Amino acid sequence: MTDTAQGQESDTAPQLLDAFDTERALTTLQALCAPDMSGRAPGSAGHALATEFLASTLASHGLTPGLDTFPIREVMRLAAQPSCRVDGSGFTRDLVHRAEFAENPRSGPMPAALTGTVSEAAGTGEWAALLKVPQGDAFAALADELVARGAIGILTAQNADASGYLTKRVQGPPPVSLPVIALRPDVLAASIGGTVTAHVPLVREPATGTNIIATLPGADPDARPILLTAHYDGVGADPELHFPCAGDNASGTAVLCEVARVLTSAAPLARPVIFALVDAEEIGTIGSGHHARRLREQGIVPDVLNVDMAGKDNGKVAVELGPADPSPTGVIAALDSAGRRLGIQLYAGTVSSDNRRYASAGFPAAGIGFGAAHYHSPLDAPDRIEPEALRKAGHLVLAAVHHLATQN
């Protein structure tokens, strides 16, 4: 490091960190979690509101965001409130959606309510109870076998999470040839021998995804850019239940919006910074895959930092590294330097998010995950976000960006 670079790092980095406003980030997060955003599922009216809000937020910071759209083959949603009733020996009642039963992403169409007895060896007119669920092609083969035997549908086991909810699942392998409903294991076991009447209208529709892209020019227009990403889509809402999707990933999105405000208000960095609020992460990281291809087509190879789930301060931060330059000027060195400077413990962990799409494209990339409470649950709400996690995430990103910009 040159004396000049050392001076820039020591003089400028604290100013950037001090400018990060945690309350402002929290306000952005709360706006994204409002009921009218309807869980920010692609194709929903709430998602369109979120896209407009975020583009306006970046524009208010002096950036010029562009909207890059792409097709999504299908988005799963519930067309109406689902129902499931068990009538059996000592167990007769309507089940509670999301607490005792839920849609299964492998379900075939279910246009109307179905009634049948529940059996582990299902035959004509019966529900097949699967206490153990085969995976992949084996599940599809079993569904075909049950069709041949005259079964009307499949009941599978799904454990509730720590919040007591059955996690909302919005992607999976292709649907099978029968309706499939998930029940809590104890409820499924108690239903065997009884009768189940259920209607879970899960539909699949095409949608359009939208990435929000804005570039902050650098002092050196020819310098390789730094790319900061976070996904802003969520898992959507149930017909009568709101999913705020606060930790996953309004938190990461809010952090990047505040980082954008800080950097646009500061002296220009040497390198350009691209902000990419990407879409459709929850249904297969489709938006980041689209964006990575766009960058490749343009011959751009950025250093990438992706923030997914910055809602919980666990005392240490997971970092997943893709292909990276191990030199003192690369992504690894930048995060290591930032973590040491801030006293934030980093560890090699799993961050299964958009960073993998950029890494697969050959870009030096890192995924940063602080964590979130109640993943894919209605309890993933703003009141469970820890402001300290937002602050630390913002500081870590700013310090890493500053290192990347001053060491290259």
**Residue 97 near residue 81, CB atoms below 8 Å:** yes
Specify the CATH class of 81-200 in words.
alpha beta
User: Measured in whole angstroms, how far is the alpha carbon of residue 201 from the centre of its chain?
Assistant: 24
pLDDT at residue 3, rounded to an integer: 38
Could you read off the pLDDT tens digit of each residue along the chain, which spans 408 residues?
A: 333 334 444 456 889 999 999 999 999 999 999 999 999 999 999 999 999 999 999 999 999 999 999 999 999 999 999 999 999 987 899 999 999 999 999 999 999 999 999 999 999 999 999 999 998 899 999 999 999 999 999 999 999 998 899 999 999 899 999 999 999 999 999 999 999 999 999 999 999 999 999 999 999 989 999 999 999 999 999 999 999 999 999 999 999 999 999 999 999 999 999 999 999 999 999 999 999 999 999 999 999 999 999 999 999 999 999 887 777 779 999 999 999 999 999 999 999 999 999 999 999 999 999 998 898 999 999 999 999 999 999 999 999 999 999 986
Give the C-alpha separation, 356 to 171, whole Å. 17
Q: What is the pLDDT of residue 252?
A: 98
pTM of the model: 0.95
Domain range list for the chain: 3-76+206-407, 81-200
Query: What is the 8-class DSSP label of residue 80?
Result: S
Superfamily of domain covering 3-76+206-407: Zn peptidases (3.40.630.10)
Q: What pLDDT is stored for residue 135 in this prediction?
A: 87
Q: Strand 114-119's sheet: what is its strand order?
A: 91-94, 83-88, 195-199, 114-119, 126-130, 153-157, 180-183, 101-103
First to last CA, the chain: 10
Euclidean distance between CA atoms 209 and 230, whole angstroms: 15
pLDDT for 2 equals: 37
Instruction: Report pLDDT for 76.
Output: 96
Strands 345-348 and 316-321: parallel
Give strand ranges (E) for 188-340.
195-199, 202-216, 226-231, 273-278, 303-307, 316-321
Give the pLDDT confidence score for residue 9 in this predicted structure.
Answer: 41
